[in-house]
Amino acid sequence: MTPKPDPFFFGYGSLVNRATHAYPNAAPARARGWARIWQATTVRQIAYLSVIEAPGTQIEGLIASVPGGDWAALDAREHAYARHALRDVHHDRPAATAVMIYQVDPRHIAPTGRHPILLSYLDTVAQGFLREFGEAGVARFFETTQGWEAGIRNDRAAPLYPRAQVTTDRERALVNAALRDLGISG
């Protein structure tokens, strides 16, 4: 009997940065029909990066396998999110037949209130996109993400994001320039 292949997840934010996890068989991928959004939640006063269905839109990310289908650790990491089957995803991993995507659980969406984006979180995400897709990939991340009106909380000096990575001057400059282009001060 052939063992069932491991399922995969599609990361579109911090999971694109391989330094934030140890999931195997990671590879760049594209998901069609989705856009990213900075989402206010009732879970914390900081924005979560989530996805919304967006026909005609495509986002880049990273797929990786979940050994033995043991989702417990990843579900704990993504505790405010619900897992959904991803149908239209393109990658070069033939074994990745079942791919899941995490989206903020509707029960946790905050109707009002200011929930800024942590700059340390954004830096970590952008670093992953730079490593996987180059500067053009960072630009596409900003272009295919909504919710920038949430504003930025500059926590670079003392990162609040639990998986914050050390970033280079170049990486921070890319983020700063993209935010300036959006009319956002960081």
Sign of CA dihedral 137, 11, 175, 36: positive
Query: In the prediction, which pLDDT does 112 show?
Result: 76
Q: In which band, very low, low, confident or very high, does the pLDDT at 10 lie, cut at 50, 70 and 90?
A: very high
Q: In which band, very low, low, confident or very high, does the pLDDT at 4 lie, cut at 50, 70 and 90?
A: confident
Query: In the prediction, which pLDDT does 23 show?
Result: 94
- Mean pLDDT over residues 22-46, rounded? 95
Q: In degrees rounded to 5, what are phi and psi of residue 126?
A: -60, -40
- Mean pLDDT over residues 72-93, rounded? 92
Q: In which band, very low, low, confident or very high, does the pLDDT at 97 lie, cut at 50, 70 and 90?
A: confident
Measured at the alpha carbon of residue 87, what is the angle toward residues 83 and 93, in degrees to the nearest 5?
95
Closest CA to 136 of 22, 21, 28: 28
